[in-house]
Amino acid sequence: MKNIDVFFYEAFEEEAKVLSSLLGSDISSDFTPKTIQESGHREPPARLLSIRTQSLIPREWDEQLDGILSRSTGYDHLLAYASLNGTRLPLGYLEEYATRAVAEHAIMLTMALMRKLPQQMRQFPSFNRDGLTGVECEGRNLLVVGVGRIGREIVSLAQGVGFAVKGVDIMLDEPEVTYVSKENGVPWADVIVNAMNLTSENRGYFSFDLFSTARRGLLFVNIARGEHSPLADVERALAAGRLGGLGLDVFEDEGNFGASLRNEDQAASPQRSLVERLLSYPNVILTPHNAFNSEEALRGKSALTVEQVKFFLKNKDFLWKI
């Protein structure tokens, strides 16, 4: 084991640069853009590890670690690790840092699908405008499923560009939001944006059966968790014409799936062939779990991460912990 204070997995280039500058010389650190499973590490490179959402932590590392920090506001993956291993390790996450970035990404995907941007790009080489007539936001119905921090911001942005907006949530605590049940909201919507936290109860929420209750041509955008919308179901809904457009920033089994795309020698993820088929559709936009990634959010995320690391190294616990 290297004599370093903290090791960062899944640290893309810009993130590693900002983190390194904020950590300074008093805290020793190292970085890799790879997940734990891609790294080939046989033992943890430090007693404090920081991951994002795709790393799979080996069970046998548990006794060699002091703590695990996820650089994310969601922590369902850490809960799953704790449940599987019965770990008593301190597990940390980050307070809000990317609400605006993720909400803007959701609206970007929505508007790009409404104006048929993927097909426009395909037809540009021939400068052909046939079949490219899109629709405007004004007067369209947008349903936000999951009206937490990100969902509230999506509601505000959507209203700002003219959508009629309703929300689905188990907590009806936002006075400016018109709440409906999913049974009433899905048939009403022209667009559905998923912003739910992942729980054991809402896995597979956006099933083919649910899409079958929607208007034909519904646009569906998911910036929350891939497990909410099984790829087999969304592909089936596309093929059946129930969905008129699809925007995904998140995917099932994302750790293995992402590694499979990044590495030719990696065993193919079961989701890979499904995604390759989805990419053949002219009304699909897929982004690599990147909705959080704005300059503003990166600065906030890095500052919170360093705050967590410094607190942990002093106290062997996290400020924001599970």
CATH number for 55: 3.40.50.720
145: in domain: yes
Higher per-residue confidence, 269 vs 267? 269
252: in domain: yes
Geometric angle at alpha carbon 83, from 79 and 223, rounded to 5°: 30
SS3 257: helix
pLDDT above 50 for 1: no
Domain identity same for 77 and 117: no
Torsion over CA of 267, 270, 276 and 278, rounded to 10 degrees? -160
176: in domain: yes
Domain identity same for 280 and 132: yes
Is residue 254 a contact partner of residue 228, using CB atoms and an 8 Å limit?
A: no
pLDDT digits (tens, 9 = 90+) for 152-203: 999 999 999 999 999 999 999 999 999 999 999 999 999 999 999 999 999 9
pLDDT digits (tens, 9 = 90+) for 69-124: 999 999 999 999 999 888 889 999 999 999 999 999 999 999 999 999 999 999 99
Domain identity same for 81 and 168: no
Domain identity same for 48 and 140: no
Domain identity same for 93 and 109: no
Q: Give the pTM.
A: 0.93
Which domain range does residue 10 map to? Answer: 6-97+295-315
Is residue 176 a contact partner of residue 144, using CB atoms and an 8 Å limit?
A: no
Domain identity same for 60 and 33: yes
113: in domain: yes
320: in domain: no
Domain identity same for 195 and 110: yes
pLDDT above 90 for 273: no
321: in domain: no
216: in domain: yes
Domain identity same for 21 and 155: no
CA distance 307 to 92: 11
Average pLDDT in the chain:
95
Domain identity same for 278 and 218: yes
Domain identity same for 110 and 91: no
